[in-house]
Amino acid sequence: NTKPTALIMIFGATGDLAKRKLFPSLYQLYTKNKLQNFAVIGIARRPLTTEQFQENVKDSVMTFANVDYRIEAFISHFHYHCHDVTSSQSYIELKQLASQINNQYKLKGNCIFYLAMAPEFFGTITNQLKTQGLTNVEGYKRLVIEKPFGTNFETAKALNEQIRTVFQEEEIYRIDHYLGKEMVQNIAVIRFSNALFEPLWNNRYISNIQITSSETLGVEERGRYYENSGALRDMVQNHMMQMVALLAMEPPISLTPEEIRSEKVRLLRSLRPMSQEEVNTYFVRGQYAQGIIHGETVPAYREEANVSIDSNTETYVAGKLMIDNFRWFGVPFYIQTGKRMDRKSTKIVVQFKDMPMNLYYQAEHKLTPNLLVIHIQPKEGITLLLNVKKSGTTTETKSVRLQLANEGTDYINTPEAYEKLLLDSMRGDATNFTHWDEVALSWKFIDTISEVWKKTNDESFPNYPAGSPGPSAADALLAHDGHIWWPIE
Ligand code: BG6
């Protein structure tokens, strides 16, 4: 855990991600004294002076974090390069600046190339970085990239091949910011460090697992991107599949990135493949209509900016995944995610099997099953539902909750995720980044669904009002198996 030293080149430094996540996270790392030496070169097309750029960095840090006197020293580490991604000359100048800054801050030739921009430029940029010698560094070189990593398996593969001509797999850090979330990192710990859960974590004791990630936000200004993506590619291919993998993988033999990732890969390989005919049996899609959120009327998806008036893009997905291995055969993993739902909440509910026989009376003559709820956000913690005796009666039981709530952070935990992931990338810890094999397998699974959905318009769209828990077909999906989405917060 030594403190890292690095030059971070952020491509797309005037963009939303840099402003909202990267600058505030770097500030947190800086003020927590987690960094040895560092400097940033912000790279973007817009003509800015370094002073103007530093002011922008300051503004964004002040918007998203609490700042003190250290902000001035912090922004002095930031430099700016006005860049044309296709011009060789621009890379030559960038190289000169990088070498000057490397000497000035004694950065040991360690270099992180952070591509916080549209993926269509990934290939060009990495190619130029190599041709113009920017990747000839004395220390390490690492590439950090953001999703979307392709739009299907084929495009992801082409993109991967392009960047692999310049960077080795172990030098590529593919961000999935869910892997930086505190409670997502806790999944493996809850499973593998508790004698109470580990022996039960299989198809003999678990009835089903439900993963929900709901948002109240709509598509905001991202209509153009979202129209071609939809909830399936935006959320399921990456975040939801990663959570399934962490919940279902076998115990790794050690905590090295290689061991953990190879267990995740094995798990993704055991997902039951679907034929095109089966897609609509296992998966449900939705799109929001106008509705009310926090007391305000919000428009339908089809009325959002840069969205087609007859759009067939899904803003909600629910699905049932089956894992065909010894541990999980027969246990459904239900997932659901959507925009403009009734609440912002990410959680996992593990439902244990019913007792073989019910000796007790409870409302509706049914014992509530034991549930383990892992709250990921906005609340962070664990809830365990148990049955105990109702006091004063003899055989009547009631369901009680054992709750562990993590200390709330003063703002939502997303910046924290970036903070951890940025630090990991500087330290060279790839555990919480996705390996190409994981990306490839999850695309292959998702592709079958998106191919079917592309071919057939969903005539029921829009099929859920903004501010609701999603389309009714999602309830039917579980009801078919005799289950319900547990409404536990
Ligand atoms: C991103 C998606 O990956 O995750 C967004 O592109 C979504 O559409 C976001 O809003 C959700 O992240 P979080 O951390 O708020 O759950």
Q: Whose CA is nearest to atom 14 of ligand 1?
A: 414
Contacts of 309 (CB under 8 A, 6+ apart): 302, 303
**pLDDT of 410 over the 60 cut:** no
215 is in an annotated binding site: yes
Ligand 1 center from residue 175 Cα (angstroms): 12
Ligand 1 center from residue 337 Cα (angstroms): 10
β pairing state of 296-298 and 316-321: unpaired
Peptide bond into 471 cis (omega under 30): no
Nearest ligand 1 atom to alpha carbon 181: 14
ipTM field: 0.99
Give pLDDT, residue 225. 92
What's the start-to-end Cα distance of the chain, in Å?
36
Our mutation pick for probing the ligand 1 site, out of 17, 178, 235, counting the most ligand atoms within 8 A of Cβ, is 235
Ligand 1 center from residue 430 Cα (angstroms): 21
- Contact assessment for residue 11 and residue 22, using Cβ atoms and an 8 Å cutoff: no
What confidence tens digit (pLDDT) does each residue in 84-127 have? 999 999 999 999 999 999 999 999 999 999 999 888 899 999 99
Give pLDDT, residue 394. 73
Q: Whose CA is nearest to atom 9 of ligand 1?
A: 235
What confidence tens digit (pLDDT) does each residue in 170-192 have? 999 999 999 999 999 999 999 99
Q: Hey, what are 301's tokens?
A: 């998806």
Nearest ligand 1 atom to alpha carbon 178: 14
Mean pLDDT over each residue of the chain, to the nearest integer: 94
Peptide bond into 148 cis (omega under 30): yes
What confidence tens digit (pLDDT) does each residue in 470-483 have? 999 999 999 999 99
- State the average pLDDT over residues 354-371: 80
Q: For the ranges 146-150, 219-223, 329-333, 355-359, which has the lowest average pLDDT?
A: 355-359
Nearest ligand 1 atom to alpha carbon 234: 6
Confidence of residue 362 (pLDDT cuts 50, 70, 90): low
- State the average pLDDT over residues 345-356: 95
pTM of the complete model? 0.95
Ligand 1 center from residue 244 Cα (angstroms): 17
- State the average pLDDT over residues 18-38: 94
DSSP string for residues in 78-147:
EEEEE--TT-HHHHHHHHHHHHHHHHHHT-TT-EEEEE-S-GGGHHHHHHHHHHTTTT--SS-EEEEEPS
Greatest C-alpha distance within the chain: 83
Give pLDDT, residue 367. 81
Residue 77 is a catalytic residue: no
Residue 16: alpha-carbon gap to chain centroid: 17
Our mutation pick for probing the ligand 1 site, out of 25, 179, 211, 234, counting the most ligand atoms within 8 A of Cβ, is 234
Residue type at 269 in one-letter notation: R
Give pLDDT, residue 483. 97
- Contact assessment for residue 30 and residue 75, using Cβ atoms and an 8 Å cutoff: no
Give pLDDT, residue 415. 55
- State the average pLDDT over residues 271-283: 97
83, 239, 375, 483: which one is catalytic? 239
Ligand 1 center from residue 472 Cα (angstroms): 23
Task: Between 488 and 25, name the one with better pLDDT.
Answer: 25
Nearest ligand 1 atom to alpha carbon 213: 16
Residues framing ligand 1 (Cβ under 6 A): 213, 215, 234, 346, 414
**pLDDT of 66 over the 60 cut:** yes
Our mutation pick for probing the ligand 1 site, out of 25, 177, 229, counting the most ligand atoms within 8 A of Cβ, is 177
Contacts of 199 (CB under 8 A, 6+ apart): none
Q: For the ranges 133-137, 373-377, 404-408, which has the lowest average pLDDT?
A: 404-408
Give pLDDT, residue 159. 94
